[in-house]
Chain A
Amino acid sequence: MIAELGLALLWIAAALACLSLVAGVLFLRGGPKDLASLVRPASVAQGVLTTAAFGLLIALFVRSDMSVELVARNSNSLKPMIFKIAGTWGNHEGSMLLWLMILSLSGALIAIFERRLREDTLVATLAAQAALSLGFFAFLLFSSNPFNRLPVAPPDGQGLNPLLQDIGLAFHPPTLYVGYVGLSVAFSFAVGALITREIGPAFARAMRPWVLFSWIFLTLGITAGSYWAYYELGWGGWWFWDPVENVSLIPWLAGAALLHSVAVTATRNALRAWTVMLAVIGFSMSMVGTFIVRSGLLTSVHSFAVDPERGTFLLALMAIYIGGALTLFAVRAGSVAEGKKFALLSREGSLVINNLLLTTILALVLLGTLYPIVAEALGEKISVGPPYYNKVAGPLALILCLVMVAGPLLSWRKDDGKRLWSRLPLAIFAGAAVLFALILFGGKVGILPLLGMTVAGVVAVASLAPLWGRNLRRTPLPTWGMVIAHFGVAVCLAGMGAESAFIKEKLVAARPGDVVKVGDFDVRFEGVKPVAGPNYTAIEGTLVATTPGGGSHVMKPESRMFPGLMGTAPTETNEAALLTRPGGQLYAVLGQPVLGADGAGRYQLRLWWKPLVWWIWLGGALIAIGAALSLLGRAQLLTVWRGRRARKDEGRWK
C-alpha cells in the first residue's frame, strides 16, 4: 500500500502545481483577486505532499520491500540501516524524487516566509516555481517512477554499489541538491520580477537571503564531496575535474557571481539586468548539470544512468525553461531602467570585475565539460582533463583573488587609488614574506602553487582589513560573514598550493616488518589480518607511523570485498587510512597481495604525505560559515528575534 499511496501523493502534488500555475497566470492577466490567495496554500500543500511521498519511499527502503522495483535493484535486507536509508537517493529515481521534493519545498518556503515582495511579484514567482515543478513531476511520473512494483517480488535485493556505501554518501547528495535546486528560487524570483517589472533594490534585498541559503549548501556539498572522493576512492586526489564534479562547480560559480552582483543591486540599485540574468543562469546551470549526469552522456566514474529516453525528456524540459526565461529576459530587458552610475575604481567596479572573472571561469569549465560531447557527435573521441582546467581556471582564479583583496577596501560609487594603496602595505608585506620564504626554503615549486600560496598570504591579511579600527561588537554580521568567507578562500588556496607543491608519495611492495620513509614519517608495515564487516569481508593492514618527535600512531587501511548479491559480480573497495597532523595528512592505501614464489607475503602499499591538505576543506567550511553569518544578518532573523524578545519584556513589565 505504501508505494501506491506515495504515487497517489505525487499525482495530487502535481495537480496542485498545475493549480498554482493556472491561478497565478489568470490573476496576473487581471483575474479576480481571490485567485492570488489560492496560490500560497497550494504551494505549501504541494511541498508537504511531495515531502510525504519522499518519506514513504524512505519507508519502503527501510522495510526492504522487495516488491518495489527500485528497492529490489538498489537495496538489500542485509545492509546496515543507515545505508538502507541513504540508498533511497543513491539511484536515479530516488535522487530525482529528492530533487523534486526540494523544488517543491522551496516553493512552500517562499509561500510561507517571503514578506518583502509585492503581492503580484510573489504570485508570479510562485507560479514560475510551480511551472518548474510541473515539468519535473511529469519527468518523474512518466519516465522515472520510483514506486513501480515488480510483478513477482525477488527474495532479496541486488544491493548498493559498495563505493557508495559510505557515511559521506548519506549526507553529500542531499546537501548538494539543496544548494543545486535552491537556486530555482532565484530563477523564479527573476522570472516573477521580469513579468511584473519589479526589478530594483527591494527585489534584490528580497532575493539575497535565498541565494545565500542555497549557496551555503552548494559550498558544503562540494566541500564534503571533495573530501568523500579523497578518502573513499583511494586515489589521494581531492579534485579530479570529473564532469560530475564540474557540474556542481558551475552553479556554485554562478551563485558566487550572483551573490556579489545582487549586493550591488540591493545597495546601489545598479547592475539590475545583469543580476536578473545571473539568477536565470544559476538554475539553468543546475538543470544542465542534472541533464548531463542523469542522461549518462559523459564518461565518468559517477555516472550510473544510461537511458536515452530520459535524456531526451530532460533536454526538452531544459529547452522550455531556459529558452522561456531567456526569451522573457530579451523582451523585458530593454524596459529595465538603467542603474546608478559609478567609477571603475569603486566597490561596484571591483564587483563587476569579480563577476566577469567568475562568469569567464564558468564558461571555460562548461566548455571543457561539453566539448567532449560535441566532439563525439562530430566523430572524434576526446577527453579533457586537469591540464586544461588548471591552465585556464588557475590563472583567472588567482586574478580573481587579487580583485578580492581590493574590493572590500574600496568605497561605493568612487574611490581614489592612494587611499586604497594606504590600506594595503601589511597585506603586500605578508605576500612578499611568503614568496621569499618559498623561494629560499621551498626548493623547486611549480609556478601556479608558488603564486597560489603568495596570493593566499596577501588575501589572508587583506581579508581581515575591513575589521581594522572597528568596534568588533558593533560590526554588522554581513561584514563578519564577508571577512570570514574571504579568509576561508585564502586558507583553501594555501592548502591547495602547499599540497601540490610539497606532496610526497611512496609506492612499495612491503613485507611485514618493512619500514617505509615518507616525508618526516617512518612507517612500519606490521602485517595484515582478515576482518569481517556487516556485509563484507576485508583484509586489514596495520601500519605504525612514527614522527620525528617519537610519537607513534597506528593506521589501519582496509581492502574490502563485497559478495555479489542476487547474481551481481562481487566487488572490492579500498578504504584508505588517514592520520591527521597539524601540518597535514598521512594517507595510506593497502593494495593487492603480491602473488608468486618470491613475492609471498608482500603487499602493495601506497603512502602519501600531504602538507596542509585539510586546509582545503577547512577553507570550504569557513566560506560556508561566512555565508551563513551573512544570511543571518540579511534575513534579519536576529532583528526579528530581538524585537520579539523586547515585546515580550515589555509585556512582562506591564
Chain B
Amino acid sequence: MKAKHQRLILALVAVAGVAGAGVLGASALRDEAAYFRTPVEVKAGKTEVGEPMRLGGMVAAGSIERQADGLTIRFVATDGKASVPVEFKGIVPDLFAEESGMVADGRMRADGTFVADRILAKHDERYMPPQMGEMPEGVAKMAPKA
C-alpha cells in the first residue's frame, strides 16, 4: 500500500467517523434535548404530559407552601401572562425565593402541575438566564390565577 493510498484511506475513515458522529449527535439531540418553556407557552398547549422539559419563570409572591412532610413544596411559577403550579420534593437551592427567577427541570403531570426533579435559581443579582430577560420586573406580584 502506497503512502498516498494510506492517506486517502485515513481521510475516508475520518470523513466516515465525522458523518457517523453527526448522525449519532443529531439523533441523540432529537431524543434528549429538553424544550425550555415559559408558563404562557405551557398554557398555550405547547407541552406534552410526561415529556422532559425545563420551565422558567418567576416565583409568584406569597405562593410557596410547604407540605406536612416537611420536604415537598408547592409554588406558582409565572411570567406575568400565565401561571403554572409547580411541585418539588427536596432541598431548594440557596438562592430560591419568592419574587425571584427560577428554572426547573421536570415534566408536566396530567392535572396541569409541573413536577420538578431539580430547581436552579439565579446565581446572583447580576445574573439572569437569557430567557428571563424578557420578563418585566415585578411580574411576580401580578401573577394571574393558576
Q: Is B44 an interface residue (CB 8 A)?
A: no
Q: For chain B, which range describes its interface: under 10, 10 to 19, 20 to 34, or 35 or more residues?
A: 35 or more
User: Do B28 and A392 touch across chains, with their CB atoms under 8 A apart?
Assistant: yes
- The 0/1 profile, CB within 8 Å of B marked 1, for residues 154-166 of chain A is 0000000101000
Q: Is B21 an interface residue (CB 8 A)?
A: yes
Chain A, 508-527, CB within 8 A of any chain B CB: 508-509
User: Do A383 and B91 touch across chains, with their CB atoms under 8 A apart?
Assistant: no
Q: Is A239 an interface residue (CB 8 A)?
A: no
User: Do B70 and A509 touch across chains, with their CB atoms under 8 A apart?
Assistant: yes
User: Do B32 and A391 touch across chains, with their CB atoms under 8 A apart?
Assistant: yes
Q: Is A573 an interface residue (CB 8 A)?
A: yes
Q: In the complex where A161-B123, A367-B25, A391-B32 touch, is A299 in contact with B4 (Cβ < 8 A)? A: no
Which of the segments A50-58, A282-290, A446-454, A596-604 contacts the partner chain?
A: A596-604
B17 contacts which chain A residues (CB < 8 A)?
A: 356, 360
Give CA–CA (A364, B22) in the complex, Å: 8
Residue on A nearest B38 in the bound complex, by CB: A381
A371 contacts which chain B residues (CB < 8 A)?
A: 29, 33
Give CA–CA (A392, B89) in the complex, Å: 30
Which of the segments A98-106, A587-595, A624-632 contacts the partner chain?
A: A587-595
A328 contacts which chain B residues (CB < 8 A)?
A: none
CB distance from A528 to the nearest CB of B (A): 14
- The 0/1 profile, CB within 8 Å of A marked 1, for residues 109-146 of chain B is 00000000010100111111111000000000000000
Give CA–CA (A573, B94) in the complex, Å: 5
Q: In the complex where A364-B25, A376-B130, A606-B91 touch, is A571 in contact with B3 (Cβ < 8 A)? A: no
CB distance from A371 to the nearest CB of B (A): 6
Question: Which single member of B3, B31, B36, B128 contacts A381 (CB below 8 Å)?
Answer: B36
Q: Is B13 an interface residue (CB 8 A)?
A: yes
- The 0/1 profile, CB within 8 Å of B marked 1, for residues 371-387 of chain A is 11001100011111101
What DSSP secondary structure best describes chain B's contact surface?
A: mixed
The contact sample of 9 A-B pairs, CB cut-off 8 A, is A235-B118, A301-B123, A304-B126, A364-B28, A384-B32, A387-B31, A572-B95, A592-B92, A595-B66
User: Do A338 and B34 touch across chains, with their CB atoms under 8 A apart?
Assistant: no
Give CA–CA (A305, B10) in the complex, Å: 43
User: Do B123 and A383 touch across chains, with their CB atoms under 8 A apart?
Assistant: no
Residue on A nearest B69 in the bound complex, by CB: A509
A574 contacts which chain B residues (CB < 8 A)?
A: 91, 94
User: Do A382 and B3 touch across chains, with their CB atoms under 8 A apart?
Assistant: no
B107 contacts which chain A residues (CB < 8 A)?
A: none
Question: Which single member of B68, B92, B127 contacts A306 (CB below 8 Å)?
Answer: B127
Q: Is A15 an interface residue (CB 8 A)?
A: no
User: Do B70 and A602 touch across chains, with their CB atoms under 8 A apart?
Assistant: yes
A364 contacts which chain B residues (CB < 8 A)?
A: 21, 24-25, 28
Question: Which single member of A392, A571, A572 contacts B24 (CB below 8 Å)?
Answer: A392
A380 contacts which chain B residues (CB < 8 A)?
A: 35
Q: In the complex where A301-B123, A571-B94, A574-B94 touch, is A339 in contact with B3 (Cβ < 8 A)? A: yes
A387 contacts which chain B residues (CB < 8 A)?
A: 31-32, 52
Give CA–CA (A569, B32) in the complex, Å: 36
CB distance from B141 to the nearest CB of A (A): 16
User: Do A163 and B123 touch across chains, with their CB atoms under 8 A apart?
Assistant: yes
- The 0/1 profile, CB within 8 Å of A marked 1, for residues 82-111 of chain B is 000000011110110000000101000000
CB distance from A190 to the nearest CB of B (A): 19
Question: Which single member of B25, B54, B118 contacts A392 (CB below 8 Å)?
Answer: B25
Residues on A lying within 8 angstroms of B by beta carbon are 161, 163, 234-235, 296-299, 301-304, 306, 338-342, 352, 356, 360, 363-364, 367-368, 371-372, 375-376, 380-385, 387-388, 391-392, 507-509, 568-569, 571-574, 589, 591-592, 594-596, 598-599, 602, 604, 606
A360 contacts which chain B residues (CB < 8 A)?
A: 17-18, 20-21
Given contact pairs A572-B95, A596-B66, enumerate 13 new A-B contacts (beta carbons under 8 Å): A163-B94, A163-B124, A234-B91, A301-B123, A360-B20, A380-B35, A381-B36, A382-B33, A382-B35, A391-B32, A507-B90, A595-B66, A602-B70
CB distance from A169 to the nearest CB of B (A): 14
A235 contacts which chain B residues (CB < 8 A)?
A: 118
Question: Which single member of B25, B35, B103 contacts A363 (CB below 8 Å)?
Answer: B25
Q: Which of A298, A380, A509 has the most chain B CB within a 10 Å cutoff?
A: A509
Give CA–CA (A646, B69) in the complex, Å: 75
A602 contacts which chain B residues (CB < 8 A)?
A: 70
User: Do B34 and A572 touch across chains, with their CB atoms under 8 A apart?
Assistant: no
Q: Is B71 an interface residue (CB 8 A)?
A: yes
Give CA–CA (A302, B122) in the complex, Å: 10
Give CA–CA (A171, B13) in the complex, Å: 42
User: Do B21 and A363 touch across chains, with their CB atoms under 8 A apart?
Assistant: yes
Q: Which 6 A-B pairs have the closest CB atoms?
A: A509-B70, A381-B36, A594-B70, A591-B91, A388-B32, A299-B129
Question: Which single member of A301, A376, A569, A599 contacts B70 (CB below 8 Å)?
Answer: A599
Give CA–CA (A235, B68) in the complex, Å: 23
User: Do B123 and A572 touch across chains, with their CB atoms under 8 A apart?
Assistant: no
A375 contacts which chain B residues (CB < 8 A)?
A: 33
A301 contacts which chain B residues (CB < 8 A)?
A: 120, 123
CB distance from B70 to the nearest CB of A (A): 3
CB distance from B107 to the nearest CB of A (A): 13
